[in-house]
Chains A and B, each alone.
Chain A
Amino acid sequence: MISKTVDKKRELSINWKLLRQVILGLVIVAAILFFNARSPEKTSAVLSSTLRYAVPLILGALCGIFCERAGIVNIGIEGQMLFSAFLSYMTNVWTGNLLLSLLVGMLTGAVLGLFLAFLSIKLKLNQTIGGTVINILATGITGYFYQTGLTTQGKLWNIPLGPLAKIPLIGPVLFNNPPITYIAILLVIFSQVLLFHTRWGLRTRAVGEHPRAADTLGVDVFKIRYWNVIIGGVMAGLAGSFLTLEGVGMFERGMTNGRGFIALAVMIFGKWNPISSALAALFFGFANAMQIQLQFMGIQIPHQFVGMIPYLLTIIVVSGFVGRSRAPAAEGIPYEKE
């Protein structure tokens, strides 16, 4: 009897979930079309602003996902972003070569990833402390070496993707962006496939959930962890480069301004899943864009309350009030070979 009702419930809940998602999707599309019919410029401005705000969060969240899926807690995303933003900006100042600047940013993120991996895997340092060290050092070192009054030759500009960019509404929003935005969108798909449809992804998740079992089956736990944290670092590096090469176009002290931590929130909100996290980042970006629009229209919601939304939602999600968000089981624990 009991098992039967449970089964029934489960079946029902799956249907509800799908239905809910489909309805939500349709409502969003309908709303966008409705507003687009009323004022096309404003709609595409809001959507573009949503995407611009979301890109560094998406990349930061991907960094978190790769690290945590392999069992390494990374709260140093903020520091990785700041450091990469600084060095790719400086490269741009010195050489004026945007591609080189981008590569330097990615490399910086990767090196800091390696540093975090070394601290937590080799030295078995508490991973939360390791991340805090990266954050403090990034603030200190970039602040120490930064000088005001530097100029660059330019930043990354939009690349319209031929006829695709001419599609009304979708074209200007999705297919007329600077390069890192395209890279971010591709990386979401790439990460989803890598994590859930390849051998590497299976091993990564196994190492994050039960390293002992993975080890028994011949998976090199340390190697998987090192590489995932480094890959994550590249993503955080891209996020940093986005800020200085594409978003703002210059560097300021402490310019990441908590984005690394919102990225952490995005990751949890997206349940450690690349596509869900990207959607979560878009949602946070949309809240931000709406608040700006409302201010233009003269409706004053204090921006601080909109600013709180991502954090409050994350707390609600980790507390399990709305759906359960479960972290990889072996996260934060150094692995010791027997």
Chain B
Amino acid sequence: MEEQTPSQNNWLKKVWFSVRIPFLAIILALLVGAIILLVSGANPLEAYWQLFKGAFGSWRNIQRVLEKSTPLIFAGLAVALGFKAGLFNIGAQGQLLLGALMAGYVGFAVKGLPAYIHIPLALLAGLLTGAVFAAIPGLLRAYSGAHEVISTIMLNYVAINLSDYFSEGPWKDTTPGNIVSRLPAIQPSAEIPNIGPVPVGFIVAVLTSLLIWFVINRTTFGFEINSVGLNPHASKYAGMRTKLLIVAAMVVSGALAGVGGAVETMGVVGRFQPGFNTGLGFDGITVALLARNNPIAVILSSLFLGAMKGGANTMQFYANVPNQIIDIIQGTMLLFVTAEMVVRWVFKLRKQRDTEITVTSGWGQR
């Protein structure tokens, strides 16, 4: 027993080293949030308490947190996988949006299927749409050198315009009395059910995280993606087909984002409606960086963000604090988790080489 203590200590130390920066970033962000609450005349303790109660106060609330976390997990995985391959997929937002749109279309337009066929079919529609839409920047990056940050930002707006067009035009909900531009409600057979308070979508998301972890850490494809992300030139020299890998990574990333949108449509909103999933792709960036691109940790950071989103309304109602404080906390968190230097400086931590992550290169380089 005595001999095991040091190794146990080491193990604890290792875990602490890998989580300390995100953990301290969260603490700092909550502090910044508290200061802003104080400045605006609100009571931060009261606000955070209501936020917490709103997130975990009842089984219904916990279910809502799980619902909110589900698309975040998929978006986070999409961005994290991109980062692994050295790609910054800001376009997760657009891929997610079109995935949600197509799942909404298949959800309402295809009738008379049993749920066990309809649900996978609609999910598949979201997956394929996301994959195809992400293939465009992937191909452009690989074969024309157009940087994916630029092309995916532009494609996000193309996606917004496309989904607006379909929900205002050809696929508009024409039930009498509806003046909002949105798609009709999906068939009951396309609705993702819950098991107790746990949405089935959440279970699928967790399983997907495990799958992505396995792919990244235990398969050749994962190894090659990692390698391309760390050093594209060396990978090419080692005989990997780097261009194909870039496209493949983008496609898988887009597929994940597309499923995230589909799950949101089929499990939470019940139809596609523009504006309901705004920002989820950008949340994916925060989720991925908070999780340091680790697929398992993506689940945890999604739950954290999901809890804030789930509790926000209760906080707004009972503590009279505008919802937007969540955005402020999230932005600060993103800042602190990427600007490790600030965190280290505040807490006087020493530098650890393996905690650094490369995110993406500038678009000047080829």
Residues of A within 8 A of B (CB): 71, 73, 75, 119, 123-129, 132-133, 135-137, 139-141, 143-145, 258, 261-262, 264-265, 268, 302, 304-305, 307-308, 311-312, 314-315, 318-321, 327-333
Contacts and interface: CB of A to CB of B under 8 A. Distances in A.
B331 A140 contact: yes
Given A144-B324, A315-B140, A332-B362, A123 B342 contact: yes
A321 to B, nearest CB: 8
Contacts of B332: 137
Interface string B31-42: 000001000100
B88 A143 contact: no
A75 B363 CA distance: 12
A328 B364 contact: yes
B359 A139 contact: no
Contacts of B157: 258, 261-262, 307-308, 311
Interface string B144-159: 1111011101111110
B326 interface: yes
A304 B162 contact: yes
Interface string B324-366: 1111111110110011011000000000000000011111110
B328 A129 contact: no
A143 to B, nearest CB: 4
Contact of B324 (A123, A127, A139, A329): A139
B365 to A, nearest CB: 8
27 contacts: A75-B149, A119-B335, A125-B335, A126-B338, A126-B359, A127-B362, A129-B338, A133-B331, A133-B338, A136-B334, A137-B328, A141-B324, A144-B325, A258-B160, A261-B153, A262-B157, A264-B150, A302-B165, A308-B162, A311-B155, A312-B158, A314-B150, A315-B155, A318-B147, A319-B146, A329-B364, A330-B362
Give the most central of B150, B157, B338, B363: most A CB within 10 Å.
B150
A267 to B, nearest CB: 10
B165 A143 contact: no
The prevalent SS among residues of B at the interface is helix
Contact of A320 (B88, B144, B342): B144
B165 A318 contact: no
Give the most central of A71, A139, A144: most B CB within 10 Å.
A144
Contacts of A139: 324, 327
Contacts of B197: none
A136 B327 contact: yes
Contact of B146 (A75, A145, A261, A315): A315
Contacts of A71: 364
B154 A312 contact: yes
Top 6 A-B pairs, shortest CB-CB distance = A332-B362, A140-B327, A143-B324, A136-B331, A331-B364, A140-B328
Given A321-B144, A332-B363, 13 more contacts: A73-B363, A127-B362, A129-B289, A136-B286, A140-B326, A141-B324, A308-B162, A311-B161, A315-B151, A319-B146, A327-B147, A327-B363, A330-B364
A143 B322 contact: yes
Contact of B334 (A129, A319, A330): A129
Contacts of B289: 129
Nearest to A127: B362
Contacts of B341: 123-124
B125 interface: no
A129 B149 CA distance: 11
Interface residues of B, number: 53
A127 B341 CA distance: 15
Nearest to B145: A320
B31 to A, nearest CB: 15
B331 A137 contact: yes
A320 B322 CA distance: 45
B120 interface: no
A214 B138 CA distance: 34
Contact of A319 (B36, B140, B362, B363): B140
A141 B90 CA distance: 22
A132 B282 contact: yes
A333 B361 contact: yes
Contacts of A262: 157
Contacts of B334: 129, 132-133, 136
A128 B87 CA distance: 12
A332 to B, nearest CB: 2
Contacts of A321: 144
B339 A305 contact: no
Nearest to B334: A133
Contacts of B168: 302, 304
Nearest to A330: B364
B216 interface: no
B221 to A, nearest CB: 26
A75 B360 CA distance: 14
Nearest to A302: B165
B34 to A, nearest CB: 13
A302 B171 CA distance: 14
B127 interface: no
Contacts of A144: 36, 40, 322, 324-325, 327-328
B158 to A, nearest CB: 5
A119 B271 CA distance: 41
A119 B339 contact: yes
A140 B149 contact: no
A128 B40 CA distance: 30
Nearest to A261: B153
B57 interface: no
A125 B335 CA distance: 9
